Copies of this chain bind each other. A is one copy, B any other.
């Protein structure tokens, strides 16, 4: 168990702490300092003595008996950054509600338009319970988001000048890289601001947790689209339904939505290599299925071109700025290859392509995600 840097270490320049006002009498409910859980839930037979020291363990989350910050003097700022994700407004609402009612904080800023918005005072909105009361039923984020340059110095200046001492940033890996830059900037200035990054990813690609927020909602929406593709491909002879969903480097949405649909015949994800051509290739498999069942329903994660093992497709020769090969759009590739295969083999087949994109992320969170975010 690694010793994690703790707020106590230095925030107040001393060991001053405050009784946590959260939950009335917290003595019954607070998390015991030092509680942890082990990385793996299953323990193999024979391994009857188990030492946490020899395993990765995680400190348990939850309110402690003492807090380091004085709620009366706390100024909170919140930004959302990167792509939308169902539940962003729930997280914002809960940060406001919990800070206000559980901790007694009275100064909470929601800053419009992500990191960039911090630089202009006009974007600093004061949030109150009244203002966020109904936002949990809405998709998107009431404080807007952006994909933008990260100006660590400017952000530090504005947080400091507005007296912020707790800063919440809700976003993806880019957002957290920004947060690290900001931490460095603040450290170099010797300024103590509590930085809290809340991981947001529609793709559910965070190893440590079961689900990222918004994921269940996006599955539910994706399943609806897959159902349409299922109806379309079953309504024509040799109908092929092809649905492309988000997932540049992982296939969780594609896989879970395929499973929940239970109608999908083929699910392609970046993690699972496959061939397009030849006897064991995807195209052969699709048309074999058509011959027997008259239809085929395919779901593909957008990043699946990287899983194609035939030289032909990955060999575009194009490279991005970092020198990584640029892969073609797997949806376009499949559309083209399927049509060509049908033509070459003189098979009448009807391809119906659906690309829901934002439809699965711009929606309001379902009850599961509201509960999960709150």
Contact = CB atoms under 8 A, between A and B. Distances in A.
Interface of A: 32-38, 41-46, 48-53, 60, 84, 90, 93, 112-113, 117, 136-141, 144-147, 216, 219-220, 223, 225, 227-229, 231-232, 234-237, 256-257, 259-262, 350, 352-359, 362-363, 366-368, 370-371, 374
Return the 4 tightest CB-CB contacts between A and B, nearest first.
A34-B45, A228-B362, A260-B367, A140-B231
A370 B262 contact: yes
A357 B354 contact: yes
A38 B32 contact: no
Given A219-B367, A235-B144, A374-B259, A229 B37 contact: no
17 contacts: A34-B46, A37-B42, A49-B51, A50-B50, A84-B232, A93-B262, A138-B231, A139-B227, A145-B235, A146-B236, A229-B358, A229-B362, A232-B358, A259-B371, A260-B370, A260-B374, A354-B358
Contacts of A43: 35-38, 52
A228 B260 contact: no
Given A42-B60, A231-B139, A366 B363 contact: no
A279 to B, nearest CB: 18
A79 to B, nearest CB: 13
Given A220-B367, A352-B358, A144 B236 contact: yes
Contacts of A49: 49-51
A133 to B, nearest CB: 9
Contact of A228 (B136, B223, B363): B363
Given A237-B146, A354-B357, A355-B355, A32 B52 contact: no
Contact of A51 (B50, B136, B225): B50
Given A228-B359, A358-B354, A262 B220 contact: no
B144 A237 contact: yes
A232 B362 contact: yes
A56 to B, nearest CB: 13
Given A144-B237, A235-B145, A262-B136, A32 B48 contact: no
Contact of A45 (B35, B235, B356): B35
Most buried by B among A45, A46, A145, A259: A45
A189 B111 CA distance: 55
A113 B235 CA distance: 8
Nearest to A367: B260
A368 B368 contact: yes
Nearest to A218: B367
A215 B58 CA distance: 29
A371 B236 contact: no
A110 to B, nearest CB: 13
Contacts of A368: 216, 219-220, 260, 368
A115 to B, nearest CB: 12
A63 B36 CA distance: 31
